[in-house]
Amino acid sequence: MATEIVANYDLEALDVEFDSLDALDIIDWAAREFGDDLALSSSFGADSAVMLHLATRVKPDIKVIAVDTGFLFPATVAFREELAKRMNLNLLVYRPKTPREEFIQEHGKMWQSSPDACCAFNKREPFDRAKRELGVRCWLTGIRREQSATRKNSPIVQKDHLGLMKLCPIANWTAKDVHYYLQENDLPYHPKRAEGFLSIGCEPEEGYCTTKVKPGQDPRSGRWAGFDKTECGLHVHEQGGGI
């Protein structure tokens, strides 16, 4: 697949070009270049409304891929449905092959013993399956360099492990940029953000995978606290790669 897609582009040159462009211009290029083979990945997290709004301004019917692991906060599911209705999203929800209760019965509390494997089962596999089934050639994501140390050098233009193009149009946005955009467009934060959850993923049980962030900590410090883990695996940053 790599030879079919990213091999046709000079990713470094595109990255240099896109670094000086507005997020909307980057999304517009992707929409013109890839058409219906463009998708947006959304966790419906703390400030996900920004990328959803930007992307649908350019391409109202863009495929929005969401992975429902079965371990999400109920508030995340409600937030997803709220935004889907409000923005008339072309929402495609993918789930793990093994439902939550069967997974726990077979593997126990894997999030405690091996969170990387838990993410592989419940998040990475469904997302890879979505990209293959939907014929995605390029996908957008809302990661920002300011969010954590592992993301501070993230290129705007990347190659994922399937050889697809991955674009991060708001990589250089700050938290203030996000806040002002949400305010200017009357868009909501995830409701759990007000409780101190600045990065929101799964919560299989209290104290695991997603916890509140203390003042002064980076927004993603509440993810997998106590483990040497900072990403679910959809975003990996060695050599700018991305899963």
- Which residues are the active-site residues? 232
Pairing mode of beta strands 138-140, 63-67: unpaired
Angstrom distance (rounded) from CA 176 to CA 174: 5
What does the chain come to in residues?
243
Measured distance CA(175)–CA(32) in Å, rounded: 29
* Residue ranges in the chain assigned as alpha helix (H): 11-18, 23-34, 49-58, 74-87, 100-107, 110-113, 115-119, 125-134, 175-184
The sheet carrying 138-140 orders its strands as 90-94, 63-67, 38-41, 138-140, 165-167, 157-160, 241-242
The structure tokens listed for 84 are 């889907």
Alpha-carbon distance 37 to 125, whole Å?
A: 19
Contact 115, 89 (CB under 8 A): no
Q: Please tell me whether residue 227 adopts helix, strand or coil conformation.
A: coil
Helices (H), 35-73: 49-58
